[in-house]
């Protein structure tokens, strides 16, 4: 049983998954400090004493949740990848996979936004989570070496990529404008025109 509409982090509602799901829901609604373990226990239906069998403390829960969400997000980015894609096709697929993940998994999207630079996340977990995204740096190197994209830094490309994805998601989430496939494709083309040679 999934805990949100499409795919996602938790595939079965065992006790540990229930704890993580409740934490995800509560922490995105209330924030870190307003989500005590007692509230997680009440929401998940798992006794507080049992929670401490799985996790040392609330920070431990948050760190495991962060690692799981980042892994899930990376798996989603790679969905549908095939050998032989051009650099543009690969950027398009990965960019669209990012926005679709955010739209289908709003709790995870909000959690990643809230905890992107949080002091509660262990630096080693951040480092290992970032290492999963090596394929984005490899894509950038191939596109830069072949002259497909302009002479800009990897960091600039990622800011443009994530910036357009995040803004498109926020626009969708706010209901300010209709975000359909046409708009998603048009925004990708704007991103691509910004980095292509």
110 found inside a domain: yes
Polymer length in residues for the chain: 197
**Tell me: the pLDDT tens digits for 122-180?**
899 889 988 999 999 999 999 999 999 999 999 999 999 999 999 999 999 999 898 99
166 found inside a domain: yes
Say which CATH number the domain at 110 has.
1.10.357.10
Nearest to 32 by CA among 61, 3, 67, 64: 61
41 found inside a domain: no
Backbone angles phi, psi at 196, to 5 degrees: -75, 155
114 found inside a domain: yes
Single pTM value for the model: 0.88
Structural domains counted in the chain: 1
Residue with tokens 């596109």: 143
116 found inside a domain: yes
57 found inside a domain: no
Nearest to 154 by CA among 170, 174, 136, 167: 136
**pLDDT 10s digit of each residue in the chain, 197 long?**
234 434 455 443 599 999 999 999 999 999 999 999 999 999 999 999 999 999 999 999 999 999 999 999 999 999 999 999 999 999 999 999 999 999 999 999 999 988 887 888 889 988 998 899 999 999 999 999 999 999 999 999 999 999 999 999 999 999 989 899 999 999 999 999 999 99
Chain centre distance of CA 56: 25
109 found inside a domain: yes
Domain containing 73: what range?
Answer: 65-195
35 found inside a domain: no
């Amino acid at each position: 049983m999934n805990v949100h509409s499409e795919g996602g982090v938790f595939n079965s509602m065992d006790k540990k998954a229930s704890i993580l799901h409740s934490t995800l829901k509560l922490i995105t609604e209330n924030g870190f400090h307003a989500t005590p373990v007692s509230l997680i226990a009440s929401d998940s239906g798992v006794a507080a004493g049992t929670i401490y069998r799985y996790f040392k403390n609330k920070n431990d829960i948050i760190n495991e949740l962060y690692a799981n969400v980042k892994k899930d997000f990376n798996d989603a980015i790679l969905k549908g990848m095939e050998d032989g894609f051009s650099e543009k096709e690969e950027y398009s697929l990965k960019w669209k996979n990012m926005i679709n993940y955010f739209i289908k998994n709003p709790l995870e999207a909000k959690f990643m936004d809230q905890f992107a630079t949080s002091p509660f996340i262990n630096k080693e977990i951040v480092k290992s989570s970032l290492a999963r995204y090596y394929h984005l740096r490899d894509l950038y190197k191939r596109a830069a070496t072949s002259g497909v994209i302009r002479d800009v830094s990897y960091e600039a490309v990622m800011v443009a990529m994530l910036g357009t994805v995040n803004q498109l998601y926020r626009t969708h989430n706010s209901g300010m404008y209709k975000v359909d496939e046409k708009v998603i494709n048009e925004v990708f083309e704007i991103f691509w025109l910004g980095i292509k040679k």
